[in-house]
Structure 1
Amino acid sequence: MQKRILLAALALSFSSAVSAQSINTISQQETTRLMRTLSADDMEGRASFTPGIEKAADFISAEFTRIGLQPLAGGTDFKQTFHVYRITPTEHEAKLNGKKIAKENIFAITESKELEWKNDGKRQVVMIGENDDFRKSLGQLNAAKNDALVLVHPKHTEFFKSYQGYIGRGSVKQELGKSTSNRVFILTDQPSAKKYNLEVENKIEKLPLTNVAGMIEGKRKNEYVVFSGHYDHIGIGHAIDGDSIANGADDDASGTTAMMMLADYYKKQGQPERTLLFVAFTSEEIGGYGSKYFSEQLNPDQLVAMFNIEMVGKTAKFGPNSAYLTGFERSSLGALMQKRLAGSTYAIHPDPYPEQNLFYRSDNATLARLGVPAHTISSVQIDLDKTYHTVKDEFENLDMDHMTHMVKLIALASQGVVSGEDTPTRVDKALVK
């Protein structure tokens, strides 16, 4: 018995030494090259539906080709393209009790190309009064199934304008026709709508979005391990000190870079036991449509784990060589990662920011809702970060030495799942909202 224990300990020690040696092929020079390219100004902030994000997709595809990945089963290349619908308001006109309403005091929530309403008894009139809770009332209206004209008291002007601005930027829908109600909001001090006429027009476009996905086929062809990051960001906005490009270096060129480096690392290790999928998701910033589409192409029961990587370019609150895992308590993946990192200079911790709801704020959530042990690895101090979603999220503000160590951390921590020795428990779908 003692001999077997000794042999097992020696085998584990040898395995750890080999692993530690192999991760030395992960270089800071390569981290820097990929990061500089993805977060460069010529990517124009990688917003969905822009030439910048198309350029980024081409770059990631070329890297997958260089590494030697295969397209996903049934694919002819690495681009996984699908379509969504963008709805953009173009015209609003209204008269209420014979008085014309200024356009800046109207907005509509609708999937329809056109609405023409008058007081014909076909819809309800709802008032958000002076003493009502605007957000609570809005939530109730969003859950309603009937069309409604909503009169909003001027006391709620600030909330009204904020929501109007959000709606005015347009919305994206994976499908049309699922919404069962239309709502038109008017900011007014008039207490009733005895007579009204209104017209709403929207521009509806069917537009492409593209994930970039490749794989290394394993010996167990139908057991999948996913490594991912989202490559879209928020694009071009208001200029600050002459800079209008939100480069999205940490969010999430860092995660996409880490994913590509892990693809390169695992390709050099020979055929893995389980099949490895490497995915750069699109449109995380506008609703997670990329991960939703990806999840529909596979049987979730065959997905063993997902290592989603987001914002790993800055040192964690736990110090050097450390990261955290969102939703740590929802499966055993975090504990298995900790076991693999034992004795190394690296550490993975439970998410220290539960109030930020980070488990639901990245692409892991889509697969977690299907029961997959899908978690996000991050190191950003989200409560203190001043560059998040600003033009200051640039390459120069990141730590390439730290980021390179984050790639090494994930490489070490994931090896048990990749080799088939470790299988995390499933996420309880009933506990995922």
Structure 2
Amino acid sequence: MKKLLTIWSIGLLLFSCDNSSSSTGESAVVIQSISEASLKNHVQVLASDDFQGRKPFTEGETKTINYLTDQFKSYGLEPGNNGSYVQEVPMVELTAMPSETMVVSGGSNEVVLNLLEDFVVYTEKVVDEVSLDASELVFVGYGVVAPEYDWNDYEGLDVKGKTVVVLVNDPGFASGDSTFFKGETMTYYGRWTYKYEEAARQGAAGCLIIHETVPAGYGWSVVRNSWSGASLYLDQSGAVDQSEVLGWITRKAAIKVFEASDVDMKNYAEKSRSRDFQAESLGLNASVSVKNKIAKDKSQNVVANITGSEKPDEYIIYSAHWDHLGISQEIDGDSIYNGAHDNASGTATLLGIAEAMSKMDQPKRSVVFLAVTAEEQGLLGSKHYAQNPIYPPNKTVANINMDGITAWGPMKDLTVVGYGQSELEDIAEAIAKKQGRYIIPDPDPGKGYFFRSDHFQFAKVGIPALYASGGYEHMTKGVAYVDSLNKVYLNTQYHRPQDEYSDSWTYDGMALDGQLLLEVGNQIANSNEWPKWKKGSEFKSIRDQDK
């Protein structure tokens, strides 16, 4: 495969020299090749037991930050944060201790729901205790306010101080109409994080999401395990734009509540997809409390920069999360969650691109390399960056994110998560074709993967973001081969200690993906163009306002 890469690299060099000036109207830039040996070394180091699973607030974090900083320095990259290679990320660990029951009263029968079996609740408020005390329950369908779809579930409604009950996913799901929202493809309005954000904007004291496995994309056990015990959040002490209590209830529990109401809640999901839907008070009140154990600390994003020669105040940001899950529950005799694929692979690719770009002509726009913390805790490092940007969002041309780059050999496909969102995919497609590859959408769009990695935090502030890599069809071994490896990974390695470095891994496919993303960033960095969000993207209006 090394011979194939060498031939491809020469072809890319010739293409760059012959054609880049005609496509951009500017001088050609010779593209460096990404080193497979460097990729292998980075993965081997970052995923070693010595780095202890790279969890924030541990010795593993310290070693990771030092390693990344040393690599950027060795490439001659500038510190990216006002003379520093790090951006501090204040975080808080909240250990939620909810009441054992949630009591729903006011109807024909009092309904008592049991913790973990029927519901989970928590709070992101950095306070010792929060509660809902006989808070009025209001069913608001999908809880969506989407002007571009002419949709507002809260229209004419005052939910201040009340608790909203909402459905997971968005109105397009299961509608049978691919033009309604985005059909089976989840929009951001279907993501659970959006439900809580919108409820807070509306002034609701609480927000309860009705869980259903198919539209959620995961079972109740995932909800129960993810929203109980200790969790990390950004330290936003004193923030007022948060509801008091956030949580989930099972579909079975929701039906019990609906049956206690005098409101006709038959076919509630189907009614919620109708444009005639109107939110309605259930005539019921909920009571539940959450006590918090609070611990504060700081983690770090790592950031380096190549300053542009002509437009240094315009930026392209490459991102990857450096963190994983640390040392935790022992599985099959191992307790170190090394995170080799997730995400030593993406971090290694970030470093590979940085090294290659450091050897190329200085780009006209600035290029930033951002390794973020606490992705596994809810995209916290990238969220903090987006809320406290080092480089202005309206001057940031694009984000290119790397999370889970396969080490199974070269792929024919380039799978774009969030296909149809921005013009970045068109740039990537043209480069993929030069590699003899084709572009495809995420084959499982209903699970909303576009909203589950760090590029999403850039999208939320209007920056067009690309999240793409090969992972569907192997160059020579086909689709079934990759599918079998994916199943093994998801069933036996994902978020387990078994996601670890292996001598059987190959780095030619990782280098091929990295080379493509390098060329995407380089093309934008040496262009006058601003890639745009496409019509229908829920992030287009944010960018349009900024520009």
- TM-score bracket, shorter-length normalisation: 0.7 to 0.9
Match of 2:18 in 1: 12
Please point out which of 460, 475, 494 is paired with 1:388: 494
Question: Is the helix fraction higher in 1 or 2?
Answer: 1
Give the counterpart letter for 2:444 in structure 1: Y
Shift of 1:34: 0.8
Match of 1:59 in 2: 67
Shift of 1:300: 1.4
Distance of aligned partners of 1:23 and 1:168 in 2 relative to their CA distance in 1, 3 Å threshold: same
Match of 1:131 in 2: none
Gaps of 5+ in 1: 1-8, 127-133, 151-158, 192-196
Give the counterpart letter for 1:78 in structure 2: Y
Match of 1:194 in 2: none
Partner-residue secondary structure (3-state), 1:368: helix
CA contact (8 A) 1:370 1:429 kept: no
Match of 2:279 in 1: none
Distance of aligned partners of 1:217 and 1:125 in 2 relative to their CA distance in 1, 3 Å threshold: closer
Partner-residue secondary structure (3-state), 2:293: strand
Please point out which of 10, 35, 38 is paired with 2:43: 35
2-side partners of 1:104 and 1:13: how far apart? 60
1:107-256 superposed matches below 5 A:
108-110=121-123, 111=125, 113-115=127-129, 122-124=133-135, 136=167, 143=199, 163-174=223-234, 175-176=236-237, 177=239, 178-182=241-245, 201-219=291-309, 220-256=311-347
Match of 1:156 in 2: none
Partner-residue secondary structure (3-state), 1:399: coil
Shift of 1:60: 0.5
What fraction of aligned residue pairs are identical, expressed as a percent?
Answer: 26
Gaps of 5+ in 2: 1-14, 104-112, 138-164, 169-191, 209-218, 261-286, 473-482, 541-547
Matched, 1:371 2:454: no
2-side partners of 1:341 and 1:102: how far apart? 52
Distance of aligned partners of 1:415 and 1:359 in 2 relative to their CA distance in 1, 3 Å threshold: same
Matched, 1:426 2:426: no
Distance of aligned partners of 1:92 and 1:417 in 2 relative to their CA distance in 1, 3 Å threshold: same
Match of 1:80 in 2: 87
2-side partners of 1:13 and 1:124: how far apart? 65
Shift of 1:361: 1.3
Distance of aligned partners of 1:346 and 1:23 in 2 relative to their CA distance in 1, 3 Å threshold: farther
Please point out which of 17, 24, 44 is paired with 2:52: 44
Distance of aligned partners of 1:205 and 1:331 in 2 relative to their CA distance in 1, 3 Å threshold: same
Matched, 1:336 2:427: yes
2-side partners of 1:163 and 1:401: how far apart? 37
Give the counterpart letter for 1:23 in structure 2: Q
CA contact (8 A) 1:123 1:146 kept: no
Partner-residue secondary structure (3-state), 1:212: strand
Distance of aligned partners of 1:231 and 1:359 in 2 relative to their CA distance in 1, 3 Å threshold: same
TM-score under structure 2 normalisation?
A: 0.62
CA contact (8 A) 1:226 1:303 kept: yes
Shift of 1:198: 9.1
Partner-residue secondary structure (3-state), 1:359: helix
Distance of aligned partners of 1:286 and 1:21 in 2 relative to their CA distance in 1, 3 Å threshold: same
Match of 1:410 in 2: 517
Two-structure CA RMSD over aligned residues (Å): 4.4
